[in-house]
Amino acid sequence: MSARCVCARATGVPPRGANPERRFLILLLVALLVGGLTVWAAACTPAGETLDSTSSTTDSSSAPSGDIEAAVGEEIEVGHALVTVRALQPTFNPVVPEQRLSEQDPAAPEGNESFYQAYVKVENDGVTPIRVDTEDFACAVGNSVVGIEPTWSGPPARSLLKSSSIDLLITFKAQAGYEPVLLYSPSWYDGTIRVHPAPTPSTQAT
């Protein structure tokens, strides 16, 4: 018997090239052990960490925000809503809406004041209902910001379901002789929509 075989019997390790099935089984066991440790480590990771990160990403992407600048006549996308200011102009003879916020006698302007009226359409293009409130509007006139005149504005606040819309007639009273800027800050949007009067042909040429 050769010295190589004697050494193999004494140590229990087969000679090189002998018993390949056993060598394959050893490699398979090692691979299974490594795979099992990987699965165990993943299972031990706190589930809250993954859920928190996913939740924060979803919340930030689903919450619309930011100020918007637009002009009269433009269709403005505000989150899942569409807002269109059809008209914004000064007037000394304002139109009375069919449904007013206040049934009191309409307030009259003073000598240096004028009315400013806006015709606004709001449409819900999303699944979640949105609440449209006329009192979420304001108007920048000169160096001041004024609220609505409830006796000249309407209709009252209501919630819009998907694909429904509402037409608003909003009236403000402020110093005459200025170009108004309509401000809209709805409760379901983190920001302010600023709508300027449409430029006149002479302004565009300039």
- Say if 53 falls within a structural domain: no
Residues 107 and 188 grouped into a single domain:
yes
Q: pLDDT for 167-196, tens place per residue? A: 999 999 999 999 999 999 999 999 999 999
Domain extent for 136: 67-205
CATH code of the domain covering residue 114: 2.60.40.1240
Query: Residue 170's closest CA among 83, 67, 78, 85?
Result: 85
Residues 91 and 182 grouped into a single domain:
yes
Look at residue 148 in the predicted model and tell me its pLDDT.
96
- Say if 49 falls within a structural domain: no
Q: Write the Ramachandran bin of 8: left for phi over 0, alpha for psi from -120 to 50, otherwise beta.
A: alpha
**What tokens does 93 get?**
């003879």
Look at residue 191 in the predicted model and tell me its pLDDT.
95
Residues 185 and 85 grouped into a single domain:
yes
Residues 71 and 140 grouped into a single domain:
yes
Which residue positions in the chain have pLDDT lower than 70?
1-24, 28-64, 200-206
Number of domains in the chain: 2
Q: Helices then strands (H, E): number in the chain?
A: 4, 11
- Say if 56 falls within a structural domain: no
Residues 30 and 84 grouped into a single domain:
no
Cα–Cα distance, 123 to 109 (Å, whole number): 32
Residues 38 and 95 grouped into a single domain:
no
Q: Are 136 and 184 in contact (CB under 8 A)?
A: yes
Look at residue 161 in the predicted model and tell me its pLDDT.
96
Q: Are 45 and 30 in contact (CB under 8 A)?
A: no
